[in-house]
Amino acid sequence: MGSPFVVAQAESGGCQLPALPYRGRVRRAVVIKPAPSGVPLLVLQKRVLWLARAVPTPLTVQDDGEAGTLKVEGFTAQGYDAVREVFQRLVDEGRETGAGVSVWRDGREVVRLSGGWADVERRRPWRDDTLVQPYSLSKTFATLAALVAVRDGALALDEPVAAYWKEYGVEGKERTTLRQVLTHQAGQPRFPQEAANLDLLDDAGLRESLARTAPEYAPGTALGEHALTYGHLIDGILRAATGRSLQEVYDSVVRPALALDAWFGVPDTELERVADLEYASPDWPRQLHAAPWLQIPDGALDTRRVNSRDWRQTVFAAANLHTTATAMAGFFSSITSEEGPLRELLGPQLHTELLTSQVTGHDQVFGTRLTWTLGFLRDRGKIAKGGIGGSAAWWSLDHRHSCAYLTRRLDDHSRAAEIATVLGDNLAVVGDD
């Protein structure tokens, strides 16, 4: 796998600097201070902002020898100091133990902040290249893999899935379409009871359980985020229609085209960057409104499983993308652009289809009224996607900026909402009628 790095122009000073990967690893607790020469880098090619791995701002390190408190580090452009203030308060109050924040405007990153720790032992500081699992934010990138196959003519949005995946066309699913799958109307918001004895990593077994069983409701008649099943449904369709897995399409087409530092199946070379997830409180999983849709197969919310190497290196595309705040905010910054990499990847017609509101209604999993596009939540103010546990990313239609808040501390979305508020955004999503 080739390096995504190219020579980049520094924001200040006008000199050419090589954008090299950071391979260092802090093995003891540190207090980190930005070096005076630290500058953020942008990577430009073909009029498109390429979102290569976030290159950490140069740092000087003061070792205190033991675990302790880590200040928020990074940069904010003029006019964005309030974002730092809110983020620092979240860390100081203990509501955040490890997260990254990124804001982009006019094709450049204007905020890049890191705070807290990347590990449960509090010995590895969160860096701006720290990877974390944002749960359902992953689904957007599973969608893109499916849309690449639509672009290539291997799939059609309104053709029955059973036309490609023969085993799927049983038990009332004969007319289920790809569009219904992508917009959470396929009637399979959770795995069937027969999958209760399957292991979380039994990819083939979980796919087959969805193909064999009846939907919970007639496809197209109700709405409910396909919380854990989304990636397996898309993977099954892609395998049947193209002979390639979701991961293969994502790795060979989507990720290179968008130059994303975002991984389905973290390679060995990137594992040291991955953050450990932790609960905000021991009973957090049981407090979730969506808990009934997350119980089969067992383990998707169990930090002993999701912090394991096996989980990080498998593909569970509804939930386990691993990425950075900079990569997600950078991606969202160009999702509506007519000259952006997403439109170049999909083509004008499919790009427009991706962003267009498809269905509005009461989402039984979220418990509220929502509007789904093919890959995002949308309302009059934003195009967004979040994940259980508190991570979120969005493009503000009102203010023309993007933001990503990615966290390892599994709690509600109030932290991202407070960042949104100081940016003038409202993170609450309502149906776009």
CATH of residue 193 = 3.40.710.10
- Judge if 304 and 171 occupy the same domain: yes
Range of the domain at 112: 7-135+325-331+380-422
Residue 289: per-residue pLDDT = 81
Split at pLDDT 50, 70, 90, the class of 433 is low
Give the percent of the chain with pLDDT over 90.
Answer: 80
Distance between CA atoms of residues 95 and 82, nearest Å = 17
Tell me: pLDDT of 149 over 60. yes
Q: Which of 319, 353, 368 is the endpoint of a domain?
A: 319
Residue 40: per-residue pLDDT = 31
Report if residue 351 sits inside a domain.
no
Split at pLDDT 50, 70, 90, the class of 43 is very low
Split at pLDDT 50, 70, 90, the class of 432 is low
Report if residue 250 sits inside a domain.
yes
The mean pLDDT of 391-405, rounded to a whole number, is: 98
Q: What residues pair up with 104 in beta bridges, in sequence order?
A: 109, 402
- Judge if 131 and 274 occupy the same domain: no
Quick: pLDDT tens for 82-122: 999 999 999 999 999 999 999 999 999 999 999 999 999 99
Residue 422: per-residue pLDDT = 98
Report if residue 428 sits inside a domain.
no
Tell me: pLDDT of 10 over 80. no
- Judge if 150 and 292 occupy the same domain: yes
Burial class from Cβ neighbours inside 10 Å (0-12, 13-18, 19+) for residue 15 reads exposed
Residue 429: per-residue pLDDT = 76
Residue 36: per-residue pLDDT = 32
Report if residue 375 sits inside a domain.
no
Name the E strands within 285-400. 321-323, 359-363, 368-372, 377-378, 382-386, 392-396
Report if residue 345 sits inside a domain.
no
Report if residue 373 sits inside a domain.
no
Residue 286: per-residue pLDDT = 85
Residue 64: per-residue pLDDT = 38
Any idea which of 32-36, 145-149, 194-198, 414-418 has the lowest mean pLDDT? 32-36
- Under 8 Å between Cβ of 123 and 29: yes
The Cβ of residue 2 has, within 10 Å, a number of other Cβ atoms equal to: 5
Q: Is the model more confident about 53 or about 238? A: 238
Burial class from Cβ neighbours inside 10 Å (0-12, 13-18, 19+) for residue 361 reads middle
In terms of average pLDDT, the best of 5-9, 53-57, 201-205 is: 201-205
Quick: pLDDT tens for 315-371: 999 999 999 999 999 999 999 999 999 999 999 999 999 999 999 999 999 999 999
- Judge if 69 and 204 occupy the same domain: no
Averaged pLDDT of the chain: 87
The Cβ of residue 299 has, within 10 Å, a number of other Cβ atoms equal to: 18
Q: Which of 279, 295, 319 is the endpoint of a domain?
A: 319
Tell me: pLDDT of 31 over 60. no
Split at pLDDT 50, 70, 90, the class of 3 is very low
Q: What residues pair up with 427 in beta bridges, in sequence order?
A: none
- Judge if 99 and 196 occupy the same domain: no
Say how many domains are in the chain: 2
Q: Is the model more confident about 305 or about 34? A: 305
